[in-house]
Amino acid sequence: METSTDTGTETLSDHLEDAYEVVVVGGGAAGLNGALMLARSRRTVVVLDAGEPRNAPADGVHGLLGHDGIKPAELLATGRGEVRRYGGHVVRAAVDAVHRDGDGSGAGFVVALADGRTVRARRILVATGLVDDLPDLPGLRERWGHDVVHCPYCHGWEVRDQAIGVLATGPMSVHQALLFRQLSDDVVYFTDDRDLAPGQAGQLAAVGVQVKEGRVTGLEAGGLRLADGALVAREAVVVAPRMRVRADFLAPLGLRPVEHPSGAGDHLPTDQAGQTPVPGVYAAGNVTDPSAQVGAAAAAGAWAGARINAELVMAAATVTS
């Protein structure tokens, strides 16, 4: 029997039934909150989770009411315990593919795991998050989530009043510089040989962000190295990764990510209920909304879980003549 406690101490099990009403793919904030709603609605539900949440490198989760600063792993361990408390299963497993169920059992989908097992489901909740594709710059990757950051609401307070460098990496970079200026008087925008759009130089100047032209060749302990050899001293560096969703396993259903309107990466579009264009397949969290922080991802997962439950209730209540 699977057991767990709220303190993050878990007894792990990879027990899997042959079929569930709902299979949740991904056990971050979105997937676990979706499963919590479903388990509390007495649905049979399993969360299949590869165990690589996006914020794993971070020291703490910030801006989350009631949990500000909690370690990412501790929050998720607590969430797994809450799902299990209501009879939901949480299994460490990677999903390779989701197919339509062709055996006529009415179960809906067959989920194929990387370890060779399969499990059937009537509904799927995709909560697989995204991968941050970082700029390929020496010295950057190892500092990601510590003093190389992307989000003013996640770690802006932690770098307040520091000498901050914003590296131009994409369409969100000037916006980031403006937001981080709220947290420090000393913000330098590094163009990395990218052109500013019309009006952006004026915006940066208006709030006192300096602009440094030239290609950046690497990050060093003391700052950013430019192609001309100069080292510009900076304590923290802001980048905008390209956000790439983890959704290849949905290709057999014909479900593929599309570019997000922000230009920051791709996403799986859904309607307001979290329903994708494939009936019975829902999505929540960063896989559909790259800007969702932990609270928003959890809320979207909870909402999708509730919508799935309501859809199954209504399906059972449908009178066929």
280 is a site residue for ligand FAD (CB under 6 A) = no
Please tell me the count of residues contacting ligand FAD according to CB under 6 A: 38
CB of 243 to ligand FAD, least distance (A): 9
Of the ranges 167-175, 202-210, 285-293, 304-312, which one interacts with ligand FAD (CB under 6 A)? 285-293
CB of 234 to ligand FAD, least distance (A): 18
CA geometry: angle at 170 spanning 134 and 206, to 5°? 125
CB of 148 to ligand FAD, least distance (A): 9
Where in 51-90 is the site for ligand FAD (CB under 6 A)?
A: 51-55, 57-58, 61-64
Instruction: Choose between 92 and 194: whose C-beta lies nearer to ligand FAD.
Output: 92
Where in 27-46 is the site for ligand FAD (CB under 6 A)?
A: 27-31
Instruction: Choose between 25 and 164: whose C-beta lies nearer to ligand FAD.
Output: 25
Question: In sequence order, what E strands does 77-202 have?
Answer: 89-92, 95-100, 109-113, 118-126, 130-133, 148-149, 164-167, 187-190
Residue 161 to residue 52: CA distance in whole angstroms: 32
Between β-strands 95-100 and 109-113, what pairing exists: parallel, antiparallel or unpaired? Answer: antiparallel
Where in 209-248 is the site for ligand FAD (CB under 6 A)?
A: 246
Binding mask 117-156 for ligand FAD (x = CB under 6 A): ----------xxx--x------------x--------x--
Q: Of the candidates 249, 260, 278, 282, which one interacts with ligand FAD according to CB under 6 A? A: 249
Strand-by-strand arrangement of the 187-190 sheet: 148-149, 236-238, 164-167, 187-190, 210-212
Q: Of the candidates 111, 292, 304, 312, which one interacts with ligand FAD according to CB under 6 A? A: 292
DSSP letter at 207 equals: T
Structure tokens, 36: 């919590």
Question: In sequence order, what E strands does 13-152 have?
Answer: 19-25, 45-49, 89-92, 95-100, 109-113, 118-126, 130-133, 148-149
Neighbours of 232 (CB within 10 A): 17
Of residues 280, 277, 284, the one with CA closest to residue 300: 284
Residues that bind ligand FAD (CB under 6 A): 25-31, 48-55, 57-58, 61-64, 94-95, 127-129, 132, 145, 154, 246, 249, 285-286, 292-295, 297
